[in-house]
Amino acid sequence: MNPSILQTPIDYLKGVGPSRATLLRSELGVHTYQDLINLFPNRYLDKTQYYKINQLQKNSAEVQVIGKIVHLKTVEQKRGKRLVAKFVDETGEMELVWFRGHKWIRENIKINTPYVIFGKTKYYNGFSMPHPDMELLSEHQQNLRVAMQPIYPSTEKLSNKGITNRVMSKMMQQLFVETKARFYDTLSQEILEELKLISKSEAVFNIHFPKNQELLAKAQYRLKFEELFYIQLQLITKKLIRKQKIKGFPFPVVGEYFTNFYKNHLPFELTNAQKRVIKEIRNDIGSSAQMNRLLQGDVGSGKTIVGLMTMLLAIDNGFQACLMAPTAILANQHYQGIVELTKDLDINVILLMGSTTTKQRREIHAELEEGSLHILIGTHAVLEDKVVFKNLGLAIIDEQHRFGVAQRSKLWHKNTYPPHILVMTATPIPRTLAMSLYGDLDISVIDELPPGRKAIKTVHRYDSNRLKVFKFIAEEIQKGRQVYIVYPLIQESEAMDYKDLMDGYESIARSFPAPDYQISIVHGKMKPADKDYEMDRFVKGETQIMVATTVIEVGVNVPNASVMIIESAERFGLSQLHQLRGRVGRGAEQSFCILMTSFKLSADSKTRLETMVRTNDGFDIAEVDLKLRGPGDIMGTQQSGVLVLKIADIVKDNEILKTARHYAMKILKEDPSLSMDKNKVLLYTYQQMAKHKNIWNYIS
């Protein structure tokens, strides 16, 4: 087939025309024949089976029945009328019901003539089917009929303008007639044979017009594999090219700063995981290739120390380092922490933020350019063009998913060779997502907590257990511990949330009266100075209970706090629950997290709570979160566009993703430039892919 026919604008397809074409473009992003072919169905109705009326089950399933209408009547009801038909076959009878469109149905229905009906059944003193799809048996037998009927993505606007699923199916049939859809294969013979995949043409035909479940499954597997395979091929090629072509600065020296800090100023013994990660980083920066590494570790796993030791290696080799954080609070926290850790070393560390004065900026710029400033810590302000380094050798980015790719590349251009890049995140990224989003980075994981930390015990309690929970709080305070009680805060219902918080505060104040107990309260309506004052009292141990909204999620460190109570825990997302739990368990004492809820819980809420009780492992939690929310939500809008998949699903198709990555790596290992004869088809497809942003524009 001539590939250019697929680039024909959709307006030219018979039965479409200008107004429908405009709708298809705006609602579904369908501009060309190609786009329509790649509009894959969401689900399928199985029309391979016909039921007798006496075989129907009381489970409101979609079924197909052959029979005749023997009688039609109008029934008055409270609001308007309904039209009821008596439908029979040789085994029994049922009712067909219409609440609208009576006139058209009365005029067009043929009594005592065989029909095939399809729809959802209801059972109440016998079976009925509201608004069935109906087709005369004689026509049903002649039509090019799809036994597994595809259901295409749609929108309210399309339905209102008469572009129904049946219309979409007709367009698809017309498209296959016009293009005589024969597709070039886009996978090598070797892959097709080893994985026993069906051809491209068969796959595309059977995704739209499957004859049965088995052929549909083969078509889906083939197209999902292809989509994931080319994404992996792209990521791994990028990584290989970068390692070959992009030179970095080698840091061969392990010098005075690193050694002195490691031997004399390290505040605690490094965990094995931290040692392993430092070793991986040293291997990277010791070679002449540029490092691009993602460092993942749960809250409190000690990423900052690893980051600092990498910076010391840069300074030992005569280079400068910078650390960029997404918010002023985080940047400031890094700054305070690093200044404290390096106070006995002769190192110049400076903080640069949006609020830094012009006079201070001038001084910072001057010190950076002459090289006397060793470590620059800051927010987005670091990226400004005016910020020029003498020789930037290492850039560390904290919480990568809050920075766009364009912002990251600005750091690259701060030097002749791009600096080594270390990306740190405390948001555990599920392995499947990491393989697809960060497949071009090397990944390190700190998967153990510092010694002396005990795992937090998490329990789920209902509101009816509140008195027992209060008794437990009193016992912990008796031991000299402190307690957080956190209430949800959701913008839309701020007034209600505020009321919940204040009601909660009053009931806690009644149960824990002064002067025996002191309570801090922190919420969004307070002035910053008042917030800081209350936080400070809690940090100093002057108050035993902190009642707060989620303000405390990031960056509060009170080692003496051992109990976290989360009210209305069903209203929080999994990652938020995990982050809040990470506020306790920072000292040597046993800590507890108590999830309070009402009895009314959705299935998703139950899964979230069960997961929290079952595990403390951030990666485990991230996997469950990914299943519940999908990749787009987890990565936030800046990254979600990376993974607009047409047919594969990173979560459900995890196994296919692993297979695709395995084959991509195996092929590139043997033939990095895809120049062997057997890989020509892969090279051609890959080059087409480079021209188009959308993977499916070239896969056909």
At 660-673, the pLDDT tens digits run 999 999 999 999 99
pLDDT of 400 strictly over 80: no
pTM of the full structure: 0.63
3-state secondary structure of 438: coil
What's the order of all strands across the beta sheet hosting 592-597?
457-462, 592-597, 561-566, 482-486, 545-548, 519-522
pLDDT of 638 strictly over 50: no
Amino acid identity at 278? I
What span, in angstroms and rounded, lies between the C-alpha atoms of 559 and 566?
A: 18
What mean pLDDT, rounded, does the chain reach? 84
Q: Is 541 left (phi over 0), alpha (psi -120 to 50) or beta?
A: left
The pLDDT, as a whole number, for residue 596 is 93
Other beta carbons less than 10 A from residue 212's beta carbon: 12
Name the pLDDT band for 595 (thresholds 50, 70, 90). very high
pLDDT digits (tens, 9 = 90+) for 276-299: 999 999 998 888 788 888 888 876
Range 157-174 average pLDDT: 87
The pLDDT, as a whole number, for residue 636 is 44
Question: pLDDT above 70 covers what percent of the chain?
Answer: 89
What span, in angstroms and rounded, lies between the C-alpha atoms of 423 and 417?
A: 18
Amino acid identity at 140? H
Regarding predicted confidence, which is higher, 219 or 213? 219
The pLDDT, as a whole number, for residue 471 is 94
Regarding predicted confidence, which is higher, 110 or 407? 110
Please report where in the chains the tokens 């859809």 appear, as a residue. 181
The pLDDT, as a whole number, for residue 652 is 75
pLDDT of 493 strictly over 80: no
DSSP state of 99: S
Strands 81-89 and 62-76: antiparallel
pLDDT digits (tens, 9 = 90+) for 413-437: 676 678 898 988 877 777 667 766 6
Closest CA to 82 of 68, 71, 72, 94: 72
Closest CA to 321 of 443, 421, 445, 424: 421
What span, in angstroms and rounded, lies between the C-alpha atoms of 397 and 411?
A: 10
pLDDT of 559 strictly over 90: no
What span, in angstroms and rounded, lies between the C-alpha atoms of 645 and 642?
A: 9
The pLDDT, as a whole number, for residue 523 is 79
CA dist list (Å): 594 to 252, 341, 468, 562, 591: 50, 34, 12, 11, 10
pLDDT of 639 strictly over 90: no
Range 325-353 average pLDDT: 86
Range 557-573 average pLDDT: 87
Contacts of residue 72, defined as CB under 8 A and 6 or more positions apart, other chains included, come to: 83, 84, 85, 86, 106, 109, 111
Name the pLDDT band for 490 (thresholds 50, 70, 90). low
DSSP state of 385: T
What span, in angstroms and rounded, lies between the C-alpha atoms of 16 and 633?
A: 35
Amino acid identity at 284? D
DSSP state of 455: P
pLDDT of 634 strictly over 50: no
Closest CA to 403 of 386, 378, 420: 378
CA dist list (Å): 455 to 211, 274, 451, 526, 585: 54, 19, 11, 34, 7
Range 79-99 average pLDDT: 91
Range 591-598 average pLDDT: 93
DSSP state of 522: E
Cβ–Cβ < 8 Å for 562, 584? yes
Please report where in the chains the tokens 């939690």 appear, as a residue. 621
C-alpha Rg value of the chain to the nearest Å: 32
Closest CA to 169 of 149, 154, 193, 183: 149
Name the pLDDT band for 631 (thresholds 50, 70, 90). low
Cβ–Cβ < 8 Å for 322, 390? no
Contacts of residue 578, defined as CB under 8 A and 6 or more positions apart, other chains included, come to: 299, 612, 618, 621
Range 230-249 average pLDDT: 81
pLDDT of 156 strictly over 80: yes
The pLDDT, as a whole number, for residue 65 is 93
3 state SS for 614-681: HCCCHHHHHHHHHHHHCHHHHHHHHHHHHHCCCCCCCCCCHHHHHHHHHHHHHHHHHCCCCCCHHHHH
The pLDDT, as a whole number, for residue 690 is 73
Extract the tokens encoding 23: 């709708």
Outline where 29-85 has alpha helix (H): 33-37
Range 455-466 average pLDDT: 91
Please report where in the chains the tokens 């809250």 appear, as a residue. 299
What span, in angstroms and rounded, lies between the C-alpha atoms of 25 and 446?
A: 46
Range 319-344 average pLDDT: 86
Q: Please, which residues bridge with residue 295 across strands? A: 424, 444
pLDDT digits (tens, 9 = 90+) for 350-387: 998 888 888 998 998 999 889 899 999 998 888 888 88
**Lowest mean pLDDT across 267-281, 409-423, 493-507, 684-698:** 684-698
The pLDDT, as a whole number, for residue 138 is 86
